[in-house]
């Protein structure tokens, strides 16, 4: 299962996230749940870097399926929108009866 923790500040703004695990929906290279989650997450990080320019820290471990992504300063409007879009996609996956057992989404105030 993919576990995604969304880190929020006291205003409920996403200021980072961490992913861990593998979906195990299908065999490696054929796993549509893993592919969908990966596209949402990696595209969001790339888009923030390219279009918003917000400073961040990223730590990854491909073997464990771990990505730790934390924004360094106050969010730009662009980064906030991109993160909300990522969360929307992940929430839709986690709420879908076909995929709910393969992805878990939680929110944590930090």
Residues 2-14 as b or e (16 or more Cβ within 10 Å = b): bebbbbbeeeeeb
Beta partners for residue 105, in sequence order: 4
Parse the chain into domains and list their residue ranges: 2-109
Residues 67-100 as b or e (16 or more Cβ within 10 Å = b): bbbebeeebeeebbebbeebbebbeebbeeeebe
Helices marked H in 1-109: 32-47, 77-95
Note the pTM of the prediction, 2 decimals.
0.93
Q: What is the CATH number of domain 2-109?
A: 3.30.70.1490
For the chain (110 residues), the mean pLDDT of every run of 10, in chain order, is: 96 95 92 96 97 95 93 90 98 96 96
The rounded distance, in Å, linking the Cα atoms of 71 and 57 is 6
């Amino acid at each position: 299962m993919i576990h995604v923790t969304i880190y929020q500040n006291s205003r409920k703004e996403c200021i980072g996230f961490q992913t861990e695990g593998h979906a195990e929906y299908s065999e490696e290279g054929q796993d549509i749940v893993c592919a969908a989650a990966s596209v949402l997450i990696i595209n969001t990080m790339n888009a923030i870097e390219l279009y918003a320019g917000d400073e961040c820290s990223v730590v990854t471990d491909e073997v464990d399926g771990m990505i730790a992504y934390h924004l360094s300063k106050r969010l730009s409007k662009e980064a906030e929108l991109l993160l909300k879009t990522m969360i929307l996609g992940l929430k839709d996956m986690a709420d879908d009866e076909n995929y709910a057992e393969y992805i878990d989404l939680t929110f944590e105030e930090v």
